[in-house]
Structure formats: C-alpha cells, structure tokens
C-alpha cells in the first residue's frame, strides 16, 4: 500500500504545485491588470484616502479636499466654481481626472500611488498621508476680470507675464463648475455631466488652449516681423490700394470697409499696421514668399507644441502654400489657425524684446508642512532648430512701437489705459458667417494678453469687442502687481 | 538525541528534551505567538491603542492550547508533535482574519469563532479520551456509513432544514444554532470507507476482466464505485454543493486506490464522474452558471462572476507583499469570512503570506501521509489516508476555486474559515490522526510487521464473509 500512498501523496503535491504556480501568476504577472481593472475599486479607494493637496490661487484654495465619512474618504471641493473650472479640471471617481487634477496628480498625491501602504511602517504609523499644495501663477483679479468682461459671450482670454511666462489669467467661456462632477454620488455626477456634454456651446472645452481659430489680422504681426527682418522698415512705403490683385487667382483681397487704407497714394508699413491694411500685408506676403512667412510663424511657435502644464493645441500654418494661399495667410485667413495661448505667446515675445518664454501655471509646490519643494522660474522656450530669440531686439522694438500706435491712434483705441503704455493688434477674421474677433497686446512690460471671441455677431470687430475685454484684464493684472 | 528518544519510547519512561510532546509544546508556543503578534498588528492598523479583542484572542488561544497539549500528553503521548501546532497556527490566523473581516463589516464573528475553537478542541479531547483504540471505530463501520447518509440528507428534512442559503441547502437549525452536518459527514464517510475497503480489498484486488485497454474487476465489485458516484451526484444536485461532492468523491477514490492497489478504479471513477458531471451540467442551471463563471468571469463581473472577479482583484492587488494587515478591502469580496477567507489573506499578506498559509496545509498533509504510512494496521492506514486526502482536497477545491484553477464552489478552508461545524469536524479529524500516530509509535517504518499482521486478519475476515 505504501507505493499507492506515495502516488496519492505525489498527486496531492501536484495539486498544491498548481495552486502555487497559479498564485504566482495572479499576484505577480496579472497583478497590474487586476489592480487597474475598472471593476476593481481598491486603488481608487486607496487614492481617496489621501488628503489630496490644495490648488491655490493668491490666498485662496480653488481646489481642496474635505474629509467625509464613507468609502471615499476625501471629497474634492472647488470653492470658486466655474471661474477656474477649465484649469483645475474635475476629480471624479466616475469621470476620472482632468485639467491640473490630472496633470499634477503626483504632486497633489504627495508620492506615487504605487509606493502607498507597501511597507509596514507606512501602514502602522503614517496612514493619513497628505499631498502637496500647488500654488498657481494666476492673479485672481485678472481671472475675474476676464470672466466678467467676456460675460455671456463664447470666447477666451489668456494673459501672460512676458518676462517670466507666468500665466496671469486663463479663462474660457462658457465654463463649468467641477464641483458637481467631483462628488461621491454617481447619479449626481451623471446628472451634472450629461447637460455639460450635450450643451452645443461646449462648456467642457477650454477654448483658451485647446481650440484653434483663424487669427485674422493679429497674424499681421508675424507678417510684419518677417518683413522687418527682410530689409523693410516701419517707414517703408507701399501702394495704398482698394484691392490687391492676387496673382494666379480671381479672388482678390480688399480692405475692411472696401476702401483704401489712407489717401490712396502710398502708405507706410507702420500706418498699414495701425489701420490693419489688408492689401499691404497680402502684397507683403506674396513679395516675401511662403517660406519666410512659414519660418517666422514657426519661430513664434506655430506648428509646435507649446510647453505647458496642460496640453495646448498646436497652432498651424501649412508647410507649403501656393501664391493665393500665401496672400490669404499673410492676413491670418485661409488655413492659418491659432490658439489664444499661442497669440498671447506672440504678444509676450514682442513685449519682451523678441525673447520667447515658456508659459507656466505652477508657481510653487509645497509639502504639507509648508516647505518649498519646487519653484518655477522664467524659462526660455527653445527647442531643436528654434532659438528662443525669435527676432532680434531691434525688430521686436519696431513692432512694439507699431503696436503702441495701433492703440494710440488705430483700430485698438478701446484698449487704451491712462498712464500705461499699451500696445496691441486687432483681428477680425472673416470665415463665412459671423467673424471671429481678436485682440492681442501688452501693457507696459508686465502683461501680454490675447482675447478671442468667435462668432462675435454680424458687424463686430476686434477693436470694438475684443479690445475692451483685453483692457479690463490688463488693467486688473496691472493693479494687482 | 534521537537514540535517547528511541530508548525512552521503548521503555515508556517519562520523556525529556526532544520528546514528541516537548516538541509539540514549543511549536504550539510558536503558533500562539504568531497569532498574538498578527492580532496586535491588526489592532494597531486600526488605532494606536491596542484593542481588547487582540488580547482576548491571545489569552483564549493560549489557554485552549495548554489544555489541548495536556490532554494529548495524557492520552496520546506518542502522537505526531506537529499536527496540533499546525492546526492551532491555521486556527489562530483564521481568528485574526475573521476579526479582520469583522472590522470591515461591523460584525462580531470572531468572538463566536473563539467560542467554537474552545468547543472544537474540547471535542477533539473527548475523541482522544473515548477512542483509545482506533480499531474500535471499524467495528461500527456500517453505523458510520448509515450516519453519513443521514447527515447528508439532514438539511433536506423539513423542520430541521435551515432552507436554501446562498444557493445551497447545507444547514440545519438545532435550538437556534446553525450547523452544517456535511462537515461531519466527510469524517463518518471516511471511517466507513476505511472499514469497508479494508475488508473488501482482497475481493476487489483479484480477478480481472478486460474492457478495452483497462483491466477491470468483475462488475458486481464495481458497484461501490457506481454507488459512490451516484451519491456524489445526488449531493451535488440535492444540496447544490459541488465542492462537497468533489471532496467526498475524491477521498473515496483515493482510499479505494490505496486499498486495492489498482489504478483502474480511480480511472474508472474519473470517467464515471466525468459522465455524471456532464449530465449534471445539462440538467442543472447552477452547474452551468458555475462553469461559465469559471471559463469567463470578466464578462459578468457585476453579477454572476462578481465573487470570483473580486477574489482575483484582491489577490492581484495584494501583489507580492500585500496591502498589510488591515490594509485590504475584505468588504468587497462576498463571503470573505467563510468561503473567501483565503482571499483576505492573499490581499493583506500578499503572495508571501498566502504561500506560507498553503505551506502550513502542505505540512499538515505531508504529516498525514506519513501517519498513514506508519499506521499500525490497514484500517489505520486507510483511515489516516482518507482523512488526509479530505483536508488536502478541501484546501485545493476552495483555494483553486478562488483563484480560478477549478470552478468556484462554496466550501470552507479547513481551520481558517469562519464556521463552527467545519472547525469541529476538522479538530475531530486531527484527533483521529493523533490517535493513529500514537498507536504507531515504537514501530517507525514498521510496514513489514504491519503487513504480516494484516494478512492474517484479512484471511479471518474473508472467511467470516463467507
């Protein structure tokens, strides 16, 4: 019988061997897939046991965690509601994370989630883990001014400190309140989410960074930069035509209001900028050729991904254009498209002596005891073949002066602020239907701004609609500094 | 040392040093210390101050361990020294993890389980005192056989039955206490089988007929195989208890194989079982559901496959070292205190802890086989083997079920799961193994003398049968 007992024992060992092997497969090989399976709430609950750090603007927390009873221990709150909704994003156990809640998750958690509760010491003595506080560069007054000035209009505002790249305001309208999307009530989240998702005005889209629009006449800044670098000066005279006869096409380009820009004789480049003269800039584009235009746009950041905490859509200019296209693109129509963030970067570079800086939202990260972990500083945006000095200082200053003229005595007078040097450029892009209107500019060296209002209404212009919004935001930013 | 021990065994003088009982005492102390330490860790994971429950568990277990040790010392001084410590280690960890589930669920099962521990160890002591000679049991084999049937159908008897609970009808209500007679039925069945097969093994071993490639005994001797298969299927259908059916049938085949020495029996049994199982699959919806969950739990994670998916999540999330005692989520796994207790261990102690637990079972099983090998007579051999296979299979069926090796069926993990009847049954099982191992003392490796003795007895039995 002992032989048979041996075989039964061997069979038993085999069964246990299968168990051991299988346990190893589950706990080691499949562990990640199992831990991250959507129906497995363990990591989620562990994550909600963290006292997630606050996101702070000025003195106030715009995202903070509140302890609750229940499985999901901490509740995320957004005291400022929709004002910073696109920036903070939501923190939802159904929808996941978006905005800075997603981008800065590791900072807000304090340490990578995988490290959590993996050692006995943590488990016994440090169960209440707290995340780091993230301080933003935003100026609350400027942000509020942007929201109030836009009002019910669809549109977006981005304001940047030209010297540092610090984003002072970034608001898109309509916005959304992340609060209801971040509760612990699944039905409530869906009830709040569905109307937002289905709203034709798309409040979930952050138009400041994630949508591109035809930049219209604001693109003339780039055309002019190319011209100045190519031997023209602000005084260079151009024929003042009612219509520019674009080579190779019937579709000629006229001016806004269908007249000449000055007296019908000649007009200087600076004056053409001041009154936003389409015929001059279309002619300039064709004279210089597509390559100059594309190159200058790319140096300012087109066809590139701006470095930023949140994902910014690429602003685009076609890599090759025929002559009619070049004429259209030189005045910011046709296939040229830009985000408000990109145009604010352009304005900032011109206010900053031609130096391109990386935009950023995070000023500092502090641990729960207040110790500074990380601080951001002005960083030049250069990469690959692109130097951060987009144009030399002389060209930048010439453009800057031309922009000041625009506000002093041109299309941008509505942006004037007493006692402050304000420069700018208006834009009114005709794309069929209502125009998309723009204002990009700066006040002193302290704030650069871009405003877009798409579908602004039949006879709206950048000067009438966008310039006052920019003015309000610049004024608020200056007052706070 | 070993020579000295051998001498003392033979002369029956008081044992000192590394006698089995001294070894047992040390191992028991180790088991209790491990339990107390785990209990304290669990307490600290919840609050900085040690909760009274942690102390209570430690004190209760210590007292029970001392009593058990003294009774074994008095009634079975030569018994295997590792059985009791292994049982206590598993039992103690079971108490800790049942307490862990309590903390998550707001229940108080651990206190009840502590009481059941005391009752079960008392039962073990009673068996040790009453059954001074294991052959005593073989005399009542048919009584045990009948008892097995009675125990199995008890939950179906109106008035006693506690009804269908969690899809199975396994419990009876007696004076407000819920009891699972099937947990004892597996013991009585093994006693019956050991007795029956010891007597019939000669008949079943000789004469062969050829069916295809298989050499089989005459059809009338096949009857037990068919009857047992049928009984297993009846249990499966009537009580909706796949796990117990598998367990009983597996133990039966193992004992049959060892008794007859013929591989044809388990082979035939497996064929019969396969046919029976496929018929059951056609006939019973709950069997089909179990199989479909086993094949694909992921498409039904929110309903039928919920328990299996949650079990795999728990073990997978636990990873190598686990979430730590108190760091898991037993509340997410259905039946975490009973059927799925292994999952809680896997999540909180990780692969390492779960492996350690299985190793404890493996050691217990290996000792069981050793006792079977060295038993004084064939009845003892077959009984020890049957009991050991029962524990091994039960562990395999539930752990394998929770980890998707086999379809998941709700049975307990011996000693660890919450449940009084299971605990009681398993301590009685340990008592029997202790008794058999005690009887074999003084004849280590004594198969030759054993064989001689049993051959003589078999002749007598065969004559008597005529």
State which of A223-232, B46-55, B446-455 shows the largest mean pLDDT: A223-232
Cβ pairs bridging A and B (under 8 Å) = 132
Decide which of B410 and A366 is more confident: A366
Region of poorest pLDDT, from A341-350, B41-50, B316-325, B409-418: B41-50
Which residue in B119, B111, B105 sits closest to B54, CA to CA?
B111
Q: How far apart are CA B196 and CA A205, in angstroms?
A: 79
Q: What is the DSSP letter of A435?
A: P
Q: Which residues of A are catalytic?
A: 217
Tell me, what's the pLDDT at A70? 81
Residue B45, min C-alpha distance to chain A (Å): 5
Tell me, what's the pLDDT at B451? 40
Contact (CB<8Å) A27/B314: no
* Helix B141-153 and helix B182-205, axial crossing angle in degrees, nearest 10: 140
- From the DSSP assignment, how many helices (H) and strands (E) are in chain B? 17, 4
Average pLDDT over residues B50-64: 83
Tell me which chain A residues have a C-beta less than 8 angstroms from the C-beta of B319.
Answer: 27-28, 31, 35
SS3 B376: coil
Q: How far apart are CA B155 and CA B174, in angstroms?
A: 11
CA distances to A337, B24, B80, B255 from B27, in Å: 78, 5, 12, 31
Question: How large a percentage of chain A has pLDDT more than 70?
Answer: 96
Q: How far apart are CA A330 and CA A289, in angstroms?
A: 10
Tell me, what's the pLDDT at B455? 39
Contact (CB<8Å) A30/B312: yes
Average pLDDT over residues B285-299: 88
SS3 A477: helix
Give Rg (Cα) of chain A: 28
Contact (CB<8Å) A117/B45: no
CA distances to A285, A460, B164 from A260, in Å: 19, 20, 93
DSSP string for A358-386: --B-EEEEE-TT--EEEE----B--BTTB
Instruction: Pull the structure tokens for residue B455.
Output: 């051959």
Instruction: Pull the structure tokens for residue A330.
Output: 């030189």
- Please check the confidence at residue A213 and state whether its pLDDT lies above 90: yes
Q: What is the DSSP letter of B293?
A: H
Tell me, what's the pLDDT at B273? 81
A74-77 and A362-366 as β-strands: parallel, antiparallel, unpaired?
Answer: unpaired
Task: Count other Cβ atoms within 10 Å, centred on residue B220.
Answer: 8
Tell me, what's the pLDDT at B209? 63
The number of residues in chain A equals 481
Q: What is the largest CA-CA distance in chain A?
A: 119
- Please check the confidence at residue A253 and state whether its pLDDT lies above 50: yes
- Please check the confidence at residue A115 and state whether its pLDDT lies above 70: no
Residue A34, min C-alpha distance to chain B (Å): 5
Of A24, A33, A42, the CB nearest to B329: A42
pLDDT band at B262 (very low <50, low <70, confident <90, very high): confident
End-to-end CA distance of chain B: 51
The residue written with tokens 């044992």 in the block is: B15
* Helix B52-75 and helix B20-46, axial crossing angle in degrees, nearest 10: 170
B169 backbone dihedrals φ, ψ, rounded to 5°: -110, 85
Q: How far apart are CA B184 and CA B421, in angstroms?
A: 7
Question: How large a percentage of chain B has pLDDT more than 70?
Answer: 83
Contact (CB<8Å) B399/A19: yes
Tell me, what's the pLDDT at B286? 81
Region of poorest pLDDT, from A193-197, A372-376, B206-210: B206-210
Beta strands in A313-446 (DSSP E): 362-366, 372-375, 422-429, 436-443
- Please check the confidence at residue B304 and state whether its pLDDT lies above 80: yes
Distance of CA B435 to the CA centre of its chain: 17
Tell me, what's the pLDDT at A117? 46
- Please check the confidence at residue A403 and state whether its pLDDT lies above 80: yes
3-state DSSP of A97-120: ECHHHHHCHHHHHCCCHHHCCCCH
pLDDT band at B404 (very low <50, low <70, confident <90, very high): very high
Write down the mean pLDDT value for chain B.
83
Decide which of B352 and A46 is more confident: B352
Tell me, what's the pLDDT at B225? 61
Contact (CB<8Å) A31/B329: no
State which of A336-340, A417-421, B252-256, B445-449 shows the largest mean pLDDT: A336-340
Instruction: Pull the structure tokens for residue A168.
Output: 């002072």
Question: How large a percentage of chain A has pLDDT more than 90?
Answer: 57
SS3 B140: coil
- Please check the confidence at residue A206 and state whether its pLDDT lies above 50: yes
A386 backbone dihedrals φ, ψ, rounded to 5°: -95, 125
Contact B249, B234 (CB under 8 A): no
Q: What is the DSSP letter of A328?
A: H
DSSP string for B123-135: HHHHHHHH-SSTH
Q: Give B122-151 pLDDT, tens digit per residue.
A: 999 999 999 999 998 988 888 888 888 888
Give Rg (Cα) of chain B: 23
Region of poorest pLDDT, from A366-380, A382-396, B263-277: B263-277
The residue written with tokens 């007992």 in the block is: A5
Tell me, what's the pLDDT at A477? 93
Of B327, B350, B396, the CB nearest to A15: B396
Hey, which residues 347-366 in chain B have their CB within 8 Å of chain A? 350-351, 354-355, 358, 361-362, 365-366
ipTM higher than the 0.85 cut: yes
Q: Give A258-270 pLDDT, tens digit per residue.
A: 788 888 788 999 9
Contact (CB<8Å) B315/A26: yes
Judge whether A36 is closer than 8 Å to chain B, CB to CB.
no
- Please check the confidence at residue B299 and state whether its pLDDT lies above 60: yes
Average pLDDT over residues A453-479: 88
Contact B180, B422 (CB under 8 A): yes
Tell me, what's the pLDDT at B219? 66
Average pLDDT over residues A359-371: 91
Average pLDDT over residues A467-476: 93
Tell me, what's the pLDDT at B4? 41
Q: How far apart are CA B244 and CA B299, in angstroms?
A: 27
Tell me which chain A residues have a C-beta less than 8 angstroms from the C-beta of B447.
Answer: 2
Tell me, what's the pLDDT at A126? 45
Task: Count other Cβ atoms within 10 Å, centred on residue B417.
Answer: 26
Judge whether B297 is closer than 8 Å to chain A, CB to CB.
no
Q: Does an H or E element contain B348, and which?
A: helix B341-374
Decide which of B43 and A478 is more confident: A478
Tell me which chain A residues have a C-beta less than 8 angstroms from the C-beta of B45.
Answer: 123-124, 127
- Please check the confidence at residue B222 and state whether its pLDDT lies above 60: yes
pLDDT band at B454 (very low <50, low <70, confident <90, very high): very low
Q: Give B73-102 pLDDT, tens digit per residue.
A: 999 999 999 999 999 999 999 999 999 999
Tell me, what's the pLDDT at A123? 46
- Please check the confidence at residue A456 and state whether its pLDDT lies above 50: yes
Task: Count other Cβ atoms within 10 Å, centred on residue B149.
Answer: 15
The H-assigned helical ranges of A175-304 are 186-198, 220-229, 269-275, 278-288, 290-300
Beta strands in A150-202 (DSSP E): 155-160, 167-173
- Please check the confidence at residue A106 and state whether its pLDDT lies above 70: yes
Tell me, what's the pLDDT at B232? 65
- Please check the confidence at residue B12 and state whether its pLDDT lies above 70: no
Decide which of A161 and B280 is more confident: A161
Hey, which residues 48-67 in chain B have their CB within 8 Å of chain A? none
CA distances to A90, A456, B11, B295, B393 from B251, in Å: 58, 83, 38, 26, 8
Hey, which residues 39-98 in chain A have their CB within 8 Å of chain B? 39-43, 45
∠ at Cα B361 (B355, B363), nearest 5°?
A: 100
Q: Give A159-199 pLDDT, tens digit per residue.
A: 999 999 999 999 999 999 999 999 999 899 999 999 999 99
Q: Is the peptide bond before A174 cis (omega within 30 degrees of 0)?
A: yes
The residue written with tokens 């304090």 in the block is: A110
Distance of CA A412 to the CA centre of its chain: 24
Q: Does an H or E element contain B183, and which?
A: helix B182-205
3-state DSSP of A76-100: EECCCHHHHHHHHCCEECCCEECHH
B77 CB contacts (<8 Å, ≥6 apart)? B15, B20, B21, B438
pLDDT band at B465 (very low <50, low <70, confident <90, very high): very low
Q: Does an H or E element contain A35, and which?
A: helix A31-35
Average pLDDT over residues B303-319: 90
Judge whether A9 is closer than 8 Å to chain B, CB to CB.
yes
């Amino acid at each position: 019988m002992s032989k048979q007992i041996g075989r039964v024992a061997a069979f038993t060992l085999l069964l246990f061997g299968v168990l051991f092997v299988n346990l190893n497969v589950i706990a080691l090989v499949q562990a990640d897939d199992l831990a991250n399976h959507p129906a497995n709430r363990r990591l989620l609950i562990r994550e909600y046991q963290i006292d997630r750090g606050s996101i702070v603007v000025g003195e106030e927390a715009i995202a903070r965690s509140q302890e609750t009873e229940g499985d999901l221990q901490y509740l995320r709150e957004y005291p400022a509601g929709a004002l910073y909704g696109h920036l903070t994003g939501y923190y939802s156990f159904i929808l996941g994370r978006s905005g800075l809640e997603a981008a800065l998750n590791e900072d807000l958690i304090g340490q990578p989630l995988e490290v959590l509760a993996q050692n006995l010491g943590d488990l016994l003595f440090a169960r209440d883990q707290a995340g780091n506080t993230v301080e933003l560069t935003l100026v609350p007054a400027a942000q509020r001014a942007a929201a109030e000035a836009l009002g019910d209009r669809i549109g977006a505002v981005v304001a940047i400190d030209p010297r540092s790249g610090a984003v002072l305001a970034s608001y898109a309208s309509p916005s959304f309140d992340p609060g209801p999307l971040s509760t612990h009530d699944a039905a409530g989240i869906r009830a709040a989410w569905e109307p937002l998702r289905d709203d034709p005005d798309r409040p979930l889209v952050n138009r400041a960074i994630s949508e591109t629009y035809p930049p219209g006449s604001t693109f003339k800044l780039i055309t002019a930069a190319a011209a100045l670098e190519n031997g023209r000066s602000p005084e260079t005279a151009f024929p003042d035509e009612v219509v520019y006869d674009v080579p190779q096409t019937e579709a000629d380009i006229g001016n806004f209001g269908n007249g000449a820009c000055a007296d019908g004789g000649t007009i200087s480049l600076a004056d053409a900028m001041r009154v936003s003269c389409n015929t001059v800039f279309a002619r300039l584009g064709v004279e210089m050729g597509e390559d100059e235009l594309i190159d200058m746009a790319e140096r300012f950041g087109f066809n590139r991904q701006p470095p930023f905490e949140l994902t910014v859509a690429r602003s685009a200019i076609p890599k090759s254009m025929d002559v009619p296209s070049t004429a259209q693109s030189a005045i910011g129509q046709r296939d040229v498209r830009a985000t408000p963030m990109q145009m604010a970067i352009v304005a900032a570079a011109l206010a900053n002596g031609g130096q391109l800086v990386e935009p950023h939202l995070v000023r500092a990260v502090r641990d729960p005891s207040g110790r500074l972990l990380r601080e951001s500083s002005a960083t030049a945006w250069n990469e690959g073949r692109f130097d951060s000095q987009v144009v030399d200082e002389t060209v930048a200053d010439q453009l800057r002066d031309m922009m000041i003229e625009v506000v002093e005595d041109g299309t941008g007078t509505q942006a004037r602020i007493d006692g402050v040097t304000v420069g700018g450029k208006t834009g009114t892009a005709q794309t069929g239907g209502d125009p998309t209107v723009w204002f990009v500019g700066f006040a002193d060296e302290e704030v650069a701004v871009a405003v877009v209002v798409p579908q602004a209404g039949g006879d709206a212009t950048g000067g009438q609609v966008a310039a006052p919004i920019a003015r309000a935001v610049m004024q608020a930013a200056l007052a706070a500094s | 040392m070993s020579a000295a021990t051998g001498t003392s065994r033979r002369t029956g003088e008081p044992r000192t040093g590394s006698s089995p009982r001294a070894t047992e005492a040390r191992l028991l102390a180790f088991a209790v210390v491990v339990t107390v330490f785990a209990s304290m860790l669990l307490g600290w994971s919840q609050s900085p101050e040690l909760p009274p429950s942690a102390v209570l568990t430690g004190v209760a277990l210590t007292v029970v361990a001392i009593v058990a040790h003294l009774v074994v010392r008095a009634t079975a001084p030569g018994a295997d020294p590792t059985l009791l410590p292994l049982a206590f280690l598993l039992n103690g960890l079971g108490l800790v993890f049942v307490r862990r589930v309590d903390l998550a669920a707001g229940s108080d099962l651990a206190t009840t389980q502590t009481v059941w521990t005391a009752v079960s160890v008392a039962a073990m002591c009673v068996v040790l005192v009453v059954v001074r000679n294991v052959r005593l049991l073989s005399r009542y084999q048919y009584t045990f056989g009948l008892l097995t049937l009675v125990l199995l159908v008890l939950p179906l008897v109106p008035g006693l039955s506690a009804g269908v609970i969690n899809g199975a009808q396994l419990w009876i209500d007696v004076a407000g206490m819920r009891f699972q007679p099937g947990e004892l039925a597996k013991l009585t069945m093994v006693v019956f089988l050991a007795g029956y097969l010891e007597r019939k093994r000669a008949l079943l071993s000789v004469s062969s007929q050829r069916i295809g490639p298989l050499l089989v005994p005459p059809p009338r001797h096949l009857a037990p195989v068919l009857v047992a298969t049928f009984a297993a299927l009846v249990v499966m259908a009537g009580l909706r208890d796949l796990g117990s059916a598998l367990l009983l049938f597996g133990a039966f085949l193992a004992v049959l194989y060892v008794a007859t020495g013929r591989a044809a029996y388990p082979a035939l049994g497996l064929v019969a079982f396969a046919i029976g199982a496929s018929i059951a699959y056609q006939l019973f919806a709950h069997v089909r559901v179990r199989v479909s969950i086993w094949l694909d739990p992921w498409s039904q994670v929110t309903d039928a496959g919920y328990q299996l998916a949650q079990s795999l999540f728990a073990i997978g999330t636990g990873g190598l070292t686990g979430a730590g005692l108190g760091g898991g989520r037993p509340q997410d796994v259905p039946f975490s205190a009973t059927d799925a207790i292994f999952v809680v261990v896997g999540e909180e102690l990780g692969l390492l802890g779960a492996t350690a637990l299985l190793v404890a079972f493996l050691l217990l099983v290996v000792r069981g086989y050793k006792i079977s090998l060295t038993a004084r007579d064939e009845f003892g051999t077959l009984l020890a083997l049957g009991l050991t296979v029962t524990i091994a299979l039960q562990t395999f069926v539930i752990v394998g079920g929770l980890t998707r090796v086999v379809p998941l069926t709700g049975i307990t993990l011996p000693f660890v799961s919450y449940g009084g009847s299971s605990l009681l049954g398993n301590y009685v099982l340990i008592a029997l193994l202790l008794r058999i191992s005690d009887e074999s003392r003084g004849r280590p490796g004594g198969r030759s003398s054993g064989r001689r003795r049993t051959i003589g007895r078999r002749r007598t039995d065969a004559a008597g049968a005529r």
